[in-house]
Chains A and B, each alone.
Chain A
Amino acid sequence: MPQPTQQSVILLSSAAHTATPLVGPPNQIPVNEYPFLTNIPRFTGAHIIFDVTAIVDTPSVVVTMDGFDFGSETWYNLLTSAAVVGASLNVYKIHPDFTAVANLVAKEGIPYLWRVILTHADADSITYSLGVNYLD
């Protein structure tokens, strides 16, 4: 099996979580209090795959994808998922040529700096992985 490259990124291998994880290593970008990715070499869009394989009790996770504005040093929202509450393979899509679908597809471009936040609604355990496939 080919290994992932900069075109396909493993943000989180499958593991159980009870709280919002940081995704991606912090670096010189002064926004390291949040998980983020750097879009090199400048892909246009992405598939974000959030695969939930097991739950305990009633967890709920919302996937939020944001871009970063260096001028204002603020994050702006690209796409926010519906709450994921059970085992499922969820693919969110971002691309300027796509047709927007609420909570699933954003007609947006991937900026240089962006992030994925997995916001847990409670402390119930949920096992998931998070991957990104960049698109031209």
Chain B
Amino acid sequence: MTGTIQSISTNTSNGAPAPPIAIAVENIVKRYGTFEAVKGVSFSVADGEIFGLLGPNGAGKSTLIRMMTTLVPITSGNATVAGHDVAREPDAVRRVIGVIPQALTSDPDLTVEENLSIYAKLYSVPRAEREKNINEVLEAVDLVKWRGAQVKTLSGGMRRRVEIARGLVHNPHIFFLDEPTTGLDPVSRIAVWEMLNHLRETRHLTMLLTTHYMEEADKLCDRIAIVDHGKLVALGTPIELKQSVPGANVVEVHFDREAEQWKARLEGMDGVTSVQAESAGFYRVLTSSGSRTTMQLVELAASLGETITSLSVQNTTLDDVFVHYTGRQLRDEQVKAPVFMMPPRPGAQP
């Protein structure tokens, strides 16, 4: 399936008028010399939607977001943000967007309030509104009592919240977040998700975020675009994407030893759509019926005199979706050396 865009969206099935488009990207390409980092990607983001770009490091997610936020020139194709052409009206685009870069870029020597104040000035927020906006965003990210603290004294999660507050200080309509939870511990990550959901509800923000965390994309995004090697390989809601994968359940089975033709035997079971060998004796089996396959597995092991050391049944995850569309696992990709890292920025987080 790699290389083919699978659009699974069913937005207007009930006949209601489609919501206005906040971001539209049409056949966008980015080349660095002979290397093509983004290869003709197209999608649109509806007003008020949280849209996720999911893919491994080096897939082209950050390049895409940087093109849409005017940071990187577009080689070919079109992108419009809030009705403004990114290439022709970059200033108009910059006025309506808030951007949270991947790195923590707030000044560590300045206080939280000073950072926000300087960005409010950079966005030409009138003096009368500046104080009000700063108070509002500090409240929204729960940093009111830390307003006078130097950023370098804050924890990683709090610094990420400062970044979010900074991106909101001029009341943008559209919010771009480049891997907003990278480097955060699980508790801080969940706090950021809750905060972003709350902001969407209270401020009617359209959000476009990049991530390589399946769980983040699943919990936060209304729709997800899976990006791999600069191409958009699948697009839809998390449920639609999961439903698009043949098989409703994933059975993970661990035998105590690697027996001959295990894979072929598992593939031959009723309802099994695919089998993936994870390690010696460990298999992920995609099946239309978890319970039936479990029974068959136990019977098969008993008839062959083999021992099952562990067995679990789960619903299909985005990881399975990624495997289905790209032929490999996202977590494997994160371990391997990325195909292309852009741009080389010594201060950026991994």
Asked if A and B bind, the verdict is no
State the A residues within 8 Å of B (CB): none
